[in-house]
Amino acid sequence: MYTGHYMNKDFSHILRFVIAKMFTVIFFALALAMIFSLGKSFFTGLFNGEDIMQMFLGGINTGIIALAVFELALVINREYSEITESEDAVKNLRRTIPRFIGTVCIALSLEGLIMVIKYSQLELAGNLYYPVAIIASTALLLIALGVFLHLTKGES
């Protein structure tokens, strides 16, 4: 009876390991593809004579999204690909979530700032609701992260 339980537990750990490695590879490949796409679009725009400022803004946008995807791949690889039983879920979350949420917040705030710059250059002040909503959402996400870290501070 116990043998079946241990075999089932081992199978679930192996399955978790394999799926985590698959997602890690997928997200690493997506981040790499975004970086190649960024380079290709930059050089294509440079040779076609596009506005250099728009190319930089688009490049920053793509680069930050690639960084967030890369960070997600690192988190998945670190946290979910261990075959052994993890020690404490809250400790794991306190260790990995702030780094990932920090990367996402940087990406969102830069996206909002890029949109503000773009709309101000194009004189589309009526569209500033979107970047303001993005920046406000980023602030709420940071507040939620701070509350999570405060509520779980005794767990680390």
Query: What are the pLDDT digits (tens) for 145-154?
Result: 999 899 888 7
CA dihedral 27, 61, 146, 135 (to 10 degrees): -140
> Could you say which of 86, 118, 139 is where a domain stops?
86
Mean pLDDT within 60-84: 80
What radius of gyration, in Å, describes the C-alpha atoms of the chain?
21
Q: Determine the structural domain holding residue 128 and report its residue range.
A: 87-156
Asked whether residue 70 falls in the same domain as residue 101, the answer is no
- Identify the sign of the CA torsion 137, 143, 149, 151: negative
For residue 104, give the nearest of 81, 70, 147 by alpha carbon: 70
Contact 135, 109 (CB under 8 A): yes
Asked whether residue 37 falls in the same domain as residue 80, the answer is yes
- pLDDT reported for residue 1: 45
Asked whether residue 49 falls in the same domain as residue 116, the answer is no
Query: What is the distance between the alpha carbons of residues 156 and 154, in angstroms, rounded to a whole number?
Result: 6
Asked whether residue 144 falls in the same domain as residue 123, the answer is yes
Reported confidence tier of residue 106, pLDDT bands at 50, 70, 90: confident
End-to-end CA distance of the chain: 37
> Could you say which of 40, 59, 86 is where a domain stops?
86
Asked whether residue 74 falls in the same domain as residue 94, the answer is no
Reported confidence tier of residue 84, pLDDT bands at 50, 70, 90: low
Reported confidence tier of residue 33, pLDDT bands at 50, 70, 90: very high
- pLDDT reported for residue 2: 47
- Identify the sign of the CA torsion 71, 76, 81, 84: positive
Asked whether residue 82 falls in the same domain as residue 105, the answer is no
With 70 as the cut, is the pLDDT of residue 23 above it? yes
Q: Which residues fall within 8 angstroms of residue 148, CB to CB, at 6 or more apart?
A: 93, 97
Amino acid at 25: V
Mean pLDDT within 134-155: 90
- Identify the sign of the CA torsion 112, 116, 118, 122: positive
In the chain, the number of structural domains is 2
Asked whether residue 102 falls in the same domain as residue 57, the answer is no
The structure tokens 């960024």 sit at 38
Distances (CA, A) of 155 to 97, 99, 101: 14, 17, 19
